[in-house]
Structure 1
């Protein structure tokens, strides 16, 4: 996803085409995989059958393993046949040579579960991912590999990638569809600025290609992604002629990472329309990013996120279903039902240019040997009606098209060998094959659909009307059905041609959302009524259905009319069983017990034994000792000549510092609202004379995801401390530098000597000077001649690279956007006259310029001492929590130092049937830190999305006493922290049972053998 901190989706969409390549091709499958998964310019073939790919992203590492099946089932119930996931490198190799394939990292188990669920999988193997994930998925230890540069031809990087691929790709390969697994597609790399699809612009791409083949990848694969967008289909239909690969979208964004909860209706409509555009314009599949976002557990968030990765997705962080879920469900089932057209068609829009009478309505069409799909598009904000003419004959006088709707009309569709759906004016929801019964579900407004009939043409045998005869009219080989849409339940119609039965179920618009297609014991069922259908099973001839509805929502008429339609003609009424009680209801959350505290500043104490800590002359950055979390301690001792005020200057580091002198907290760096990100450079503190123990606790708030970054990792966004540290007598005075001028240049132009002459334009801090263009610019200013012994210039963000000159002298080269840096100006400072500062800014993509504040810092005193001989250790004692010394602590009293707080609560986790409340832990009143629930690290707080506190996964709750441990960086009092129930995500789970035993005799009597279509469906 995008790298541009703080910008909205609209601006990113304007910039993204400048990054993404137009290549949307796939490498074809190996011969061994071709019978199982194949591609051509018209679509996908799976097991030899044309298949529309309806996919959603769900990252297994962002979901508790015990909830994988629940989330996958919610996807499957909405018509999704494929799940897409990243295979994060830093999840699987958190330390060099230390591999993790347990718990949420068990890729093999995840893929086998996908297969068991009857779904397909797309694996995005990296080595880069983005995904609002720490370092974009790179393990921290990669920063310390000498000479390593990422995403470009580089032997050290390719060596490490090769080792990773040799571990991860065989797991993917064993689970490919041709080996009995679910994997049908593989993506290498992600959103690389140089190569997408089948592009291989350099040897790095060829290395990835060869490694994939070597490690057994045989299904189709591609680089970087395909058609990433919030509206991937664009504005016009396309032809399949000349294509060699399907049109597929790997990232269709129906939400964004800074959102939480249900989208407003207008956004719902926008993304629903975007889905139908893919279907209508010739798409062969799509993947929503994200369909279920999940959580950034542990230390996995990047600098833009905290714990929640809800993404405003159709399936919420807690598994709740948002309104857009039901919109996606309709499009999914339609596309899959008509895959024989959509995966084998070409654009025939010109043939239907005159078919609509309303000029506001636009028509597009796709035609295949199996039939034609005509789409009526109303791009406006009001309801439109239109006449429809086909072959010069008016077939409808007043077809209604809703605002923003793209309405499909079915023409000449081969439903069965002897049954053609000649004209489908009714809104067809889905087609379901049930043994020898083909069930078509249609939906419309309550009442008669007189203007929207279904017209069938039959051959081979007489038509026999079975159910709903009064709504059907037979004339020769033509059968016309005018469905009626009841207020609740479904109206059923059925006719027979030879041994084939066609059943039509007509439901109203609300009931369409509550229509489900399920399977039990190898048989297919259509269920109408519940708001969600989960597990379904047969027992003693009865069908049992686990259903759910939102919290505190009472059953309505649709619930009361719930029915199941199986591979037989008579429906079975579903009746609810008694719902079990629970100690948790939707009104009252458990109370927290009294708080205990364990101070986390012991590493700052004078005389603390730093045995086993990493020793160095100057501090080394966080992670150098193998720790990959968010904290690190640094210690040293120094001789202070006299008591007084001093400035401690750090060369590099971030994001936050807590400084201790002789075991007592003395100072801390400020937190800047922009992404909570600050590289602390100068800390002012008062020191006593003599030998002083100095300890620094550092924290980071997520490493950036490094979108579009190519180059060295060790210079990008250093965390902790790095480089020389100096102690200066006195305090710096800072002056913001805000007046800048700029003009375009090249890589070798002479350094400007003045601001005289033409071509200079005024520039503002934060202004994009490049507007997506690559190149160079001089950005120049005249620095105020402030007297002092030392002058330092602090840059918060030069995007992308900056070379700094003062008075014509080269002082500093900095590579990497979003990474603050300091420049010592003393070597070129003119004490008597002007000081012309010139920065040659290089932009490689996206926006560029002086994108963050610049501050001139002046120190009057000339006394400076190096601070050396440091020891570093990662962590704040998380590993010793089980041995922590806890003391009772008043919730109203802050400690003012880094502190672990502990509390408990009693609950009965929701299991099976009954109330299913979603618990959240509010960190209100606390500063920043992490929370553990029964030993599981829930991630960082505070949240950066509009939700109050942590989601507590139900599977990590225990019956009885549960433990919460909070690490708070500033030791704020937990007086406001509490549990609460998120009612919008909570639900009631209940069970339905068919009122009588299921009987298959009716269908058996009508068909003694399978039809060819049933054989394929089997």
Structure 2
């Protein structure tokens, strides 16, 4: 039995979608003849194997999403100039086709800039090498390559637009340009992109986000402050739909930072309700499924000098990196089903100006109304969950249970079927015709008490088999019910005239496990925890938890019942999954000292200069010292962390970038200085896109570094900028430093606009106050002897502010720079070095996986330092055991039954004795197969 996920009437029986009319007005988008509240799931096809697309998209659909939005990543499609790849995991046309098959509309965001915490904001690395190029401007060179990119990708989008029978309904122009400059400043550039899309046949509406352009619809990106964002869009474009183009469900993580799990499910619900209350007619959940930064494609962002993305892009999203359902998923499902059930009202209604409803202190009420119906948003300001009395029009008083900070919808004479209205406080998640019965599904918290008031044109029939407290009006046309949300769903039958209505009351646990499916008509299943799918999109199996039978609404054609507690069913008991074992690792030393000769360079070169997209570079140079000594090296241009070796022994790790220093112990005589540098990701969000990576500027042998965060003067006060200062400084700060003759100087760290050296202002081109990191050579402004720095400071504490000085005569020239290739030849068993970087390889087979399981595989990197992971020739990404990431995704789609090769490169050569593969905790769940009757 196939249960497709299409909406009724969306798809013909031969799987070819018919052309549908698309229009819009100030209230919403109109698809066909119907207003649509867009619940959009941000899902990036390039952050998972293509074999996982169906599962992720289907689960988005089951959560009430009716749309998917995705970026296009230029750098995965053209990793090298002129070499295009739209196959396999990069076949975004196939991804859009799958969206269409599943009945999901699509929003395509081709950029060319996408941010997305993706390397270089989606630009291919080789663009950095083009002479005089300036990114995200109307620069001639830049637009030349953008047009070549559009020539490749736009035809794929064009053929899948809704008016061509596909599902693409919106296409975005650029991305978040408003964070970079005002609309007027980017007008020429944005018009060039807009016209490039139009000229190539894009005929669906164009959108922008955070920055507008004539001929496009601007959306807002935010997590909080919905009212302010809505008001801003109303001022700019009152006559178009109002979209939350990015509603930030979680946040990205970077190496060495705390886990980004600050946005709880309860807060997620509240923020969604704020957006709905404000009047937005579409919400795109960024991210709904985050995925993984495979292949070293994680980017780097602002806020400090070295904020590099971890390999996981889980994002604390509703669907986890492993496509597992989370508490946020259940929250998203509840609210999106709520918007589906009330879509017509939400999209037609207007804000209620006056206060027609009242409550006690501790509740804020805002409302919307349409066609005699009202919806109130009751927000609690109390510290405890309470029952609040709310008095509605006509003196009707209703008690509503609300948690602290929660926004509870209050339906006020909402028409659920012609001739019958409902008043209640709670989440209506279903109002569907199933057979000849109108089925109303109401979700509440566990044990919650809810008052329902039904009013009908005719007397309401009510069979009280459940012994629910109730009261009818004398004429029988009004029925009051006082119910509780129990673990067992309650089914309440009503009848008015010839219309039958069934009310199903769910508690929080059961509403989390309620699923709305589509075949020819709507079907509901209540009691299933998760759903698995075959490749053709049919339901392969279901799983649940808790005792009892699933509640199936509609003609399912299912044999027998379905016990939700599989693990307690002795007939279903099976042994746990056997995790693949990793045999003894074979080691191969990186042998930095034995690297082959190459062309000597006057100065170090970076990754792009050497035509290398990612990976590692090794910088080598012989040095002479007339005595054993410590010297301070100064790196004038470095953009990645680096390990420093002398004669093959590590002396330290350079973490600070932009410009940096490192102390090195040199023996007497000749020694070999080497630096091992991993490409940690290019800036994905910054006014300074396109930085070179690695080490690429002069290196000096005798320098010094001064931490400039302390000993500033403001009036009579001494100020330390590594301390908290709540108040603004009354005047600019100043500080002095000494400089010797023939010495250069660099300031690096959290500089501010208005910086002056000896009274002369230092230009900081493109300065933005949210970019708390700059590196500027001040050698031309400083003088021998005492110098004065003056600088306004916007905030404190500062993470870094350093003065690096160096003797210009000590430049180290003549460098050998070579890539560190993935090592082969493990079978040679060459004698390993006792220390230093090394590769490790383990060969393993994949144990048989029972058909009634749906496992996900992880690699835990306990005990390792920093490096990368490769599986069967695929780069799984970087690792760095400084947190917060501990486990790394190993896609089963990239495994073979036998002879899998796992390779680790570790910068310190730590042994992988504690590294292990394991299945996630949900992998042992057994799935019940649905059979045809």
TM over 0.5: yes
Tell me what 2:748 maps to. Answer: 796
Matched, 1:601 2:591: yes
2:813 equivalent among 861, 867, 885: 867
Deviations 1:310-351 (A, max 9, x none): 12222111222222221221111010111111111111252x
Q: Distance in 2 between matches of 1:886 and 1:723?
A: 39
Q: CA 1:987–1:179 in 2, change beyond 3 Å: closer, same or farther?
A: farther
The alpha carbon displacement at 1:443 in A equals 3.3
Tell me what 2:315 maps to. Answer: 311
Tell me what 1:442 maps to. Answer: 442
Q: Distance in 2 between matches of 1:873 and 1:739?
A: 40
The alpha carbon displacement at 1:203 in A equals 0.7
Q: CA 1:224–1:849 in 2, change beyond 3 Å: closer, same or farther?
A: farther
Matched, 1:853 2:777: no
The alpha carbon displacement at 1:170 in A equals 2.3
Q: CA 1:656–1:790 in 2, change beyond 3 Å: closer, same or farther?
A: farther
Q: Distance in 1 between matches of 2:704 and 2:457?
A: 87
Q: Distance in 2 between matches of 1:568 and 1:928?
A: 53
The alpha carbon displacement at 1:696 in A equals 4.2
The alpha carbon displacement at 1:706 in A equals 2.9
Tell me what 1:697 maps to. Answer: 676
The alpha carbon displacement at 1:456 in A equals 3.5
Q: CA 1:567–1:584 in 2, change beyond 3 Å: closer, same or farther?
A: closer
Tell me what 2:223 maps to. Answer: 230
Matched, 1:719 2:693: yes
Q: CA 1:453–1:287 in 2, change beyond 3 Å: closer, same or farther?
A: same
Tell me what 2:376 maps to. Answer: 374
1:298 equivalent among 295, 300, 322: 295
Tell me what 1:345 maps to. Answer: 349
TM (norm. structure 1) is 0.77
- SS of structure 2 residue aligned to 1:227: strand
Q: Distance in 1 between matches of 2:773 and 2:557?
A: 67
- SS of structure 2 residue aligned to 1:141: helix
Q: Distance in 2 between matches of 1:568 and 1:449?
A: 32
Tell me what 1:957 maps to. Answer: 895
Q: Distance in 2 between matches of 1:450 and 1:583?
A: 44
- SS of structure 2 residue aligned to 1:836: strand
Tell me what 1:620 maps to. Answer: 605
The alpha carbon displacement at 1:905 in A equals 3.7
**Any residues of structure 2 matched to 1:378-777 within 5 Å, and which?**
378-396=380-398, 398-416=399-417, 418-424=418-424, 427-434=427-434, 436-444=436-444, 451-457=451-457, 478=477, 480=479, 482=481, 487-494=486-493, 501-520=500-519, 522-535=520-533, 546-549=541-544, 555-557=545-547, 560-567=548-555, 573-575=561-563, 584-585=576-577, 589-601=579-591, 604-605=593-594, 608-610=596-598, 616-634=601-619, 640=624, 645=629, 649-658=634-643, 664-672=647-655, 679-682=659-662, 684-686=664-666, 689=669, 696-707=675-686, 709=687, 713=690, 716=691, 718-726=692-700, 728=701, 732-739=703-710, 741=712, 764-765=720-721
Q: Distance in 1 between matches of 2:521 and 2:119?
A: 45
Q: Distance in 1 between matches of 2:870 and 2:86?
A: 22
Q: CA 1:873–1:478 in 2, change beyond 3 Å: closer, same or farther?
A: farther
Deviations 1:931-972 (A, max 9, x none): 112333221112665442212223333334533210111222
Q: Distance in 1 between matches of 2:365 and 2:623?
A: 82
Residues 463 and 497 in structure 1, CA contact (< 8 A), matched pair in contact too: yes
The alpha carbon displacement at 1:563 in A equals 2.4
Q: CA 1:979–1:366 in 2, change beyond 3 Å: closer, same or farther?
A: same
- SS of structure 2 residue aligned to 1:974: coil
Q: Distance in 2 between matches of 1:705 and 1:712?
A: 7
Tell me what 2:840 maps to. Answer: 901
Q: CA 1:88–1:943 in 2, change beyond 3 Å: closer, same or farther?
A: farther
The alpha carbon displacement at 1:189 in A equals 2.1
- SS of structure 2 residue aligned to 1:79: coil
Residues 800 and 849 in structure 1, CA contact (< 8 A), matched pair in contact too: no
- SS of structure 2 residue aligned to 1:920: strand
The alpha carbon displacement at 1:300 in A equals 0.9
- SS of structure 1 residue aligned to 2:335: helix
Matched, 1:321 2:325: yes
TM (norm. structure 2) is 0.83
Q: CA 1:839–1:737 in 2, change beyond 3 Å: closer, same or farther?
A: same
Tell me what 1:164 maps to. Answer: 149
Tell me what 1:143 maps to. Answer: 128
Which stretch has the larger CA shift, 281-290 or 759-768?
Answer: 759-768
- SS of structure 1 residue aligned to 2:295: coil
- SS of structure 1 residue aligned to 2:56: helix
- SS of structure 2 residue aligned to 1:234: helix
Matched, 1:919 2:857: yes
Q: CA 1:712–1:440 in 2, change beyond 3 Å: closer, same or farther?
A: closer
Tell me what 1:214 maps to. Answer: 199
The alpha carbon displacement at 1:162 in A equals 2.0
The alpha carbon displacement at 1:61 in A equals 1.4
- SS of structure 1 residue aligned to 2:357: coil
Deviations 1:650-691 (A, max 9, x none): 432242334567xx415555243x7xx57544563536757x
**Any residues of structure 2 matched to 1:39-58 within 5 Å, and which?**
39-58=24-43
Q: Distance in 1 between matches of 2:260 and 2:560?
A: 34
- SS of structure 1 residue aligned to 2:284: strand
Tell me what 1:928 maps to. Answer: 866
Residues 634 and 659 in structure 2, CA contact (< 8 A), matched pair in contact too: no
- SS of structure 2 residue aligned to 1:400: strand
Q: Distance in 2 between matches of 1:60 and 1:421?
A: 43
Tell me what 1:1006 maps to. Answer: none
Residues 738 and 787 in structure 2, CA contact (< 8 A), matched pair in contact too: no
Q: Distance in 1 between matches of 2:182 and 2:540?
A: 43
Tell me what 1:9 maps to. Answer: none
How many residues of Structure 1 are paired with residues of Structure 2 in the alignment? Answer: 886
- SS of structure 2 residue aligned to 1:211: helix
Matched, 1:274 2:239: no
Instruction: Structure 2 unaligned segments of length 5 or more: list them.
Output: 1-17, 211-218, 300-306
Q: CA 1:262–1:224 in 2, change beyond 3 Å: closer, same or farther?
A: closer
Q: Distance in 2 between matches of 1:848 and 1:140?
A: 35
Deviations 1:427-453 (A, max 9, x none): 422123335543211234788978323
Q: Distance in 2 between matches of 1:838 and 1:812?
A: 14
Residues 129 and 136 in structure 1, CA contact (< 8 A), matched pair in contact too: yes
Which stretch has the larger CA shift, 363-372 or 162-171?
Answer: 363-372
Deviations 1:551-587 (A, max 9, x none): xxxx422xx22121115999974357998787753xx
Deviations 1:94-127 (A, max 9, x none): 2222222223322111111111121122222222
The alpha carbon displacement at 1:623 in A equals 1.8
The alpha carbon displacement at 1:399 in A equals 3.0
Q: CA 1:136–1:778 in 2, change beyond 3 Å: closer, same or farther?
A: farther
